[in-house]
Amino acid sequence: MNILVINCGSSSLKFQLIDATDEKLIAKGLCERIGIEGSQLVYAPTGGEKVTAVTPMGDHTEAIRLVLEALTNEKNGVVKSLKEIGAVGHRIVHGGEKFASSTMITDEVIKAIEECNTLAPLHNPANLIGIDACKKLMPGTPMVAVFDTAFHQTMPEEAYMYAIPYKYYREYKVRRYGFHGTSHSYVSHRAAQLLGRNYEDLKIIVCHLGNGASISAIKNGKCVDTSMGLTPLEGLIMGTRSGDIDPAIIKFIADTEGKNIDEIMDVLNKESGVLGLSDGFSSDFRDLVDAYEKGEEASVRTMKVFAYHVAKYVGAYTAAMNGVDAICFTAGFGENSAFIRTLVCAYLGYLGIEIDEEANAKRGVEGIITTADSRTNVLAIPTNEELAIARETFALVK
């Protein structure tokens, strides 16, 4: 069965068509600048030529119509008709406490997702627009919602509660939710397979290091803690997001620069992280590694602070699980960069980690990067959130 995976943002839309039976990618692409001048569709059929078409897209329905046209196009389409698309899997950012697993999309589910909009005001409404557009263009095709937060719903109370007045939890459900759930789930399951071990017998830490970064602790097959919180701003240092800070810094910036709360949130979401630490040099880890290797001070500082924070969380989660069997690195930076894996693991001597330099040097390749003698396994595992969404979708509709 072919599954169309849709990841809808406020002005962009990424898609993949995956054959869920053999898990092969049939085509992928993205629509950018939806509703803005200069919108374009990038369409890449597997084994075929990548096409970029600058074409007006007034809204998401129009964007999805163009995607479906590209997929069924006589010249370079990959299916003869929309009947060959068995189901649609939608990535939904926030499922609150309502969704602990993926679910078939019904009118009630749409209503429940809408009720989570206050928890993710930038993301959930865009995700819902994607669902609405697909409903219009592919009536009768089953659709599944796969939540970024669902995998983390197994966290115990001691991990998800904040020490603020309890009424904020009771009345508004303010708590840690965590994100990147499909990635943490996919990578931790893969780690168990690569180690030839039972998922339920392992203590695993997944470091998802990309432009957005988060880390999670998975004990006996269940997520027990994760670094992102009510929103994706908490936790590790990211491309432009600050991660953990003293909340009083917000008042300090307001008092010293006269900024209002929205302006300060912009500083923390868009001007901080490695971009802020490097004094505006770059939010891109590749640039920072290159500059680090040339000994440029701002990038050396930035990478040292970034790696230290990751190592600190690994320590915390090792304590939370009373041990760790496997530490996994994934996402753009984590899966591709031997540099960051080495920098983080340099802090983890107490776990008896022995890096296999040759295995670690391979880029974007799945595998164990520690020696046979290493007391703890370290793995590099390219994440594949779209495949994870296709699997979840297939499991519910087949």
Question: Measured from the CB of residue 51, what is the shortest distance to ligand AMP in angstroms?
Answer: 22
Q: Describe the chain by its helix, strand, coil percentages, rounded to 5.
A: 40, 20, 35
Residues whose CB falls within 8 Å of the CB of residue 200, separated by 6 or more in sequence, listed in order: 220, 221
Q: Which stretch binds ligand AMP (CB under 6 A): 23-31, 81-89, 283-291, 371-379?
A: 283-291
Residue type, 291: A
179 is a site residue for ligand AMP (CB under 6 A): no
Q: Which of 19, 22, 59, 148 is catalytic?
A: 148
Per CB under 6 A, 331 contacts ligand AMP: yes
> Shortest approach of ligand AMP to residue 93 CB, angstroms?
15
- The token duo for 17 is 């068509």
**Residue that has been written with the tokens 């891109």 in this structure:** 284
Should residue 211 be labelled a site residue for ligand AMP when binding is judged by CB under 6 A?
Answer: yes
Residue 336 engages ligand AMP in binding (rule: CB under 6 A): yes
Catalytic, 148? Answer yes
* Cα torsion through 70, 74, 76, 82, rounded to 10: 40
| Choice between 259 and 270, CB closer to ligand AMP | 270
DSSP 147: E
CA distance 379 to 327: 6
DSSP E strands in the chain: the ranges are 2-8, 13-19, 24-32, 40-45, 51-54, 85-92, 103-104, 143-147, 203-209, 213-219, 222-226, 326-330, 367-368, 377-380
**Interface characters, 65-104, with ligand AMP (x: CB under 6 A):** ----------------------------------------
Stretch that binds ligand AMP, among 19-27, 37-45, 66-74, 327-335 (CB under 6 A): 327-335
Burial class (CB in 10 A: 0-12, 13-18, 19+), 311: middle
188 touches ligand AMP by CB under 6 A: no
Binding mask 285-324 for ligand AMP (x = CB under 6 A): xx--x-----------------------------------
- Give the residue at shortest CB distance from ligand AMP: 332
Segment holding 58, helix H or strand E: none
Stretch that binds ligand AMP, among 83-91, 148-156, 332-340, 370-378 (CB under 6 A): 332-340
Q: Which residues bind ligand AMP (CB under 6 A)?
A: 210-211, 239, 284-286, 289, 331-333, 336-337, 363
Positions annotated as catalytic residues are 148
